């Protein structure tokens, strides 16, 4: 059974940085897709960054390009999201997600593409 656990959220001021972590449990594949998503109350969940585990290719939302970096540590079974130069509009609940299908044509930043989800970690950026 695949299980994802996020950590690393918190409260920072504008311009600050945080690193989110997502530990994966029960994954036996060496090639699959993972992503970071965020959601604020009353709005749809949006894709922030995605990565192909095993290949390393990445995708980013335009709003975070140049500020956020998604990476993996296979030895630790952990996905990271380094967030720099944070802005108040980055405030949200952040979720990691994983999916093992290779024949799904939906965009990697589409939440609908992912089957497994973590419980989320809150990020709050104050001005």
Predicted confidence (pLDDT) at residue 55 exceeds the cutoff of 90: no
- 33, with CB counted inside 10 A (0-12, 13-18, 19+), is buried
Of 75, 80, 71, 86, nearest to 126 by C-alpha is 86
Predicted confidence (pLDDT) at residue 72 exceeds the cutoff of 90: yes
CB 45 within 8 A of CB 95: yes
Best-predicted range by mean pLDDT among 12-16, 50-54, 73-77?
A: 12-16
Residue 26 CB partners (closer than 8 Å, separation 6+):
1, 2, 3
Question: What band does 63 get if pLDDT is binned at 50, 70 and 90?
Answer: very high
Neighbours of 11 (CB within 10 A): 12
Phi, psi dihedrals of residue 17, rounded to the nearest 5°: -135, 150
pLDDT at 50: 98
């Amino acid at each position: 059974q695949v299980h994802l656990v996020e950590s690393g959220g918190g409260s920072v001021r504008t311009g600050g940085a945080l690193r989110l972590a997502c530990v994966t449990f029960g994954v036996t594949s060496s090639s699959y897709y993972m992503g970071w998503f965020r959601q604020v109350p009353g709005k749809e969940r949006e894709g922030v960054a995605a990565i192909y585990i095993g290949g390393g290719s990445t995708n980013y939302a335009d709003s975070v390009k140049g500020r956020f970096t998604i990476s993996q540590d296979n030895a630790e079974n952990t996905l990271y999201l380094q967030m720099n130069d944070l802005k108040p509009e980055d405030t949200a609940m952040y979720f990691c997600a994983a999916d093992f299908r290779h024949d799904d044509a939906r965009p990697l930043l589409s939440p609908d593409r992912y089957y497994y989800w973590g419980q989320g970690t809150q990020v709050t950026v104050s001005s």
